[in-house]
Copies of this chain bind each other. A is one copy, B any other.
Amino acid sequence: MSRSIRLAVIPGDGIGPEVVAQGLKVLTAVLPSDTKLETQEYDLGARRWHATGETLPDAELESLKQHDAILLGAIGDPGVPSGVLERGLLLKLRFAFDHYVNLRPSRLHPTAETPLAGRPDIDFVVVREGTEGPYTGNGGSLRTGTPAEVATEVSVNTAYGVERVVRDAYERAQARPRKKLTLVHKNNVLVHAGHLWKNIFDRVGREYPEVTTDYLHVDAATIFFVTQPERFDVIVTDNLFGDILTDLAAAITGGIGLAASGNINPSGAFPSMFEPVHGSAPDIAGTGKADPTATVLSVALLLRHLGLDTEADRVEAAVAEDLAARDGSPRTTDQIGDALAALVSRAAG
């Protein structure tokens, strides 16, 4: 039997191409010999926009659909007006491919440089809703640029959208040793959306009697991230709160250079997309200073999503081993990628 993975690759801008190259290196090294990798590269991002004014043409959106998964590096540079590529490319993909589970695991690695180093085990995963909330692009501006301007942003939340992501989070909590799920929202102020989330969270919870549940306001959650992060197992939250909390999670567990994410369509109707949480970091692009680990960990999420659990485990173990061996001596992006590729090949050996 032989399999093949049709992978769309969007290297993007800045350090994007550099880290994606390492991700592909490790992916190639870890795949079993009966599995073929067919990659197709898409030229999307700031460079393309500067050249043609295009963000994501329909033809390319259609073409991307034909793949099993997407690996994305990073999008954007300071020359593109804020919002153009985010709304026109990144969020367009997440919405068009109904990536309603935005999965962001956080683990405190032993040698990670963080103010929380040496604290008891931190190992939680944020299930961030990916297709609703304040990210829908609803809203607008009236009398723009005048002293009488009114600008609105509408957070849209549906029972349909909330229930499916909450259910996914319960499934993940149920499958983990601690079986704990925390809902984070702000239901004392955003009462309409907040009560929708809380009611569904409570109702679905009755189907998962083994899962311990908890609710926190988003402001209080940030405090616990700093003072007591070990209390979290699985967190489910809205699109914007998830955005904020996962950057904070990265900061406390060793930096944005280690934070992986998967934009997942669990039904499989559309390809899921895997990307490091960090941005294109134009200031260090081309210097070899970018840490490709977040991309490599995103590759692990990709493997797991495709059912290649053994290979995903192997990639995560390689990262853990590599992090444990770090002694502060500088390595290039390429060297870290080589080291990880060697570790997964040896394990496969």
Query: A residues near B, CB below 8 A?
Result: 82-83, 86-87, 91, 114-116, 119, 134-135, 137, 139-141, 143-160, 163, 186-196, 198-199, 218-220, 222-223, 225-227, 240, 243-244, 246-248, 250-252, 255-256
Q: Check if B222 sits within 8 Å of A192, measured CB to CB.
A: no
| Contact across chains for B244 and A152 when beta carbons are under 8 A apart | no
Q: For A145, give the chain B residue with the smallest CB separation.
A: B199
The answer, among B144, B191, B199, B248, for a CB contact under 8 Å with A87, is B191
Nearest CB of chain B from residue A232's CB, rounded to whole Å = 14
Residues from chain B with Cβ under 8 Å of A227 in the complex? 115, 251, 255
- Report whether A154 and B152 are in contact in the complex, using a CB–CB cutoff of 8 Å: yes
Q: Would you call A248 and B247 a contact (CB within 8 A)?
A: no
Q: How far is the CB of A184 from chain B (nearest CB, A)?
A: 11
User: Chain B: which residue is nearest A116 at the CB level?
Assistant: B115
B86-A189 in contact (CB<8A): yes
What are 24 A-B interface contacts by the 8 Å CB criterion? A82-B195, A83-B191, A86-B188, A115-B115, A139-B155, A145-B199, A147-B159, A148-B158, A149-B196, A150-B156, A151-B158, A151-B192, A152-B155, A152-B192, A153-B155, A155-B155, A189-B240, A219-B244, A219-B246, A223-B250, A223-B251, A225-B251, A226-B251, A244-B244
Are A152 and B159 within 8 A (Cβ)?
no
Contact B82 A191, beta carbon cutoff 8 Å = yes
Task: Say yes or no: A149 contacts B141, CB within 8 Å.
Answer: no
Q: Which of B140, B146, B222 contacts A248 (CB 8 A)?
A: B222
- Answer whether A135 and B189 are a contact pair too, CB < 8 Å, given A153-B155, A154-B152: yes
Q: Look across to chain B and name the residue whose beta carbon is closest to the beta carbon of A227.
A: B251
Given the contacts A145-B199, A159-B148, A188-B86, A153 and B247 also touching, CB distance less than 8 Å: no
With A115-B226, A248-B223 as known contacts, state yes or no: A189 contacts B151, CB within 8 Å: no
Cβ-defined contact, A82 with B188, below 8 A: yes
Report the separation of the CA atoms of residues A250 and B220 in the bound assembly, to the nearest whole angstrom: 10
Least CB distance, A226 to chain B, in whole angstroms: 4
